[in-house]
Structure 1
Amino acid sequence: MDKITLLNYYNEFIIKQDYFECHEIMEDSWKSKENFTKNLDEVFFIQVSTAEYHYRRNNLYGAKKIYNRAVDRLNSRPIDYNEYGLKSTIKNIIGNRLHNIDYVNFKPLQLPLTDDMYRKLHSFAMPDVSYEEFLEYIKNLHKTSIMLVEKHRLRDRSEIINVRNANRLKKRRKD
C-alpha cells in the first residue's frame, strides 16, 4: 500500500476516529491489487478498524470475532511493522484488547506508531499546530458522535440500493 493510503487510514483512525471510513480506505487499497487475497496486509488493517467499529457500538460478539481473526492473522502471517510505521507492540496491544473486551468499556485504541510515523501524520493531518500540541490533542481524543458510532446505518445508501436494484433487474432479464 502506498504511504498516502496509510496516512489517510491513520488520520481516520486516530484523529477522526471514523473506523467505518478506515475500513473503506483499506478495502479500496486491498481490492486495487491485481491479485488481491486475504493474505495481503491491508486485511489486518481492515480487521482492526472493523473490530474497533463493533467495539465502540458495544457489539462485543462482533468485535471479539474480528479481533480474534486479527490476532490469528498476526500469529500465522506477521506483518512488517516498520513498513507501516507501527511498533511490534501492536500484537500484544490487540491481544490484551481482545482479552479485556468483556470487562473494559470502549476507549479508542491507541495505535503504537513509531515517532517517525507520528511526525508524518502530524505533517499530513495537522501541520498548523506544533508537534507537541498534536501529540497532546490525540492522546485522550474520544469522539462519540452518533454519525460515527452508527455510520453504517445512518449513511446515505441510495447509490448502493440503486446498484443492487439494477443488478436484480439484470438477473431477472437473464432468467
Structure 2
Amino acid sequence: MYPEAYIDYLAEFHGSRDYFECHEILEEHWKKEPLGARKLYWVGLIQLAVALYHQRRNNFTGAKRLMANSIRILEGEQTAVESLGLDYSRLISLLKHTYRKIESHSPYESIMLPIADKALEERCRKKCEQQSYPWGRTSVVQDAFLIDKHRLRDRSEVLAEREKEIARRKKSRGR
C-alpha cells in the first residue's frame, strides 16, 4: 500500500534521525516519476527533513524557509497526507509548533510524525529493528556525521555522474 521508499523515510526519520538520508530516499523516489506526474506532497516531506537537518545545525534561516515551504505544501495536500497514514491535523499542528521553535532559534529537538495507521507504524518499527535503530530515539546532536553529512559523505558517484553529463552535453553540441 505504501511505497518502500516512504517506509525507509519514516524509519530513518524516527530511528536513525538521519534527515539528510530521509531527503535522499524520498527525492530519489519522487524523481522516478515523469516531470508532470511528480507528487508535491513528497516535496513537502523532503523539505520537512531538510528543515530539521538545518535546525540541528543551527542554520535557522534555512530551517525556517524550508519548514515554511513544507507547511505550505502539506496544508494543501490533506487527502494525500491522510493516504500516507498520517494524522493530518496533528501533523500540521506539529509542524507549525516546530516552525515557531525554529523562528525563536530554539535548539533542535527530535519529533515524531503522527502516524495514524498502526500497520504502517509496525512496518516502520520492523524496518528500524532490521537496521538496528531504536524507534523514536532522540537524535544524537553530537554526531558529526549526522550534523554535517552533506560535507562528509562520499560524493565520488555524484561527481562522476556530473562529469558524464557534462561530456554528454559537449558531445551533443559537437564539441
Same fold (TM over 0.5): yes
1:147 is matched with 145
Tell me the distance in 1 between the aligned counterparts of 2:83 and 2:77: 15
Q: 1:77 to 1:121 in 2, by over 3 A?
A: closer
Give the conservation status (yes or no) of the 8 Å contact 1:50–1:66.
Answer: yes
1:90 is matched with 91
Q: How many residues in Structure 1 have an aligned counterpart in Structure 2? A: 168
Root mean square deviation of aligned Cα: 2.5
Deviation at 1:172, TM superposition (A): 4.6
Post-superposition CA distance 1:56-109 (Å, at most 9, x none): 111100000001111111333334333222122000110111112124210112
* Structure 2, gaps ≥5 residues long: none
| One-letter identity of the residue aligned with 1:95 | K
* Structure 1, gaps ≥5 residues long: none
Q: Which has the bigger relative contact order, CA under 8 A and spacing at least 6?
A: 2
Moved more, 164-173 or 107-116: 164-173
2:123 is matched with 120
2:155 is matched with 157
| One-letter identity of the residue aligned with 1:143 | V
Provide TM-score, normalisation by structure 1: 0.82
1:110 is matched with 112
Q: 1:139 to 1:18 in 2, by over 3 A?
A: closer
Q: Percent identity?
A: 28
Tell me the distance in 1 between the aligned counterparts of 2:99 and 2:163: 39
2:42 is matched with 42
Deviation at 1:20, TM superposition (A): 0.8
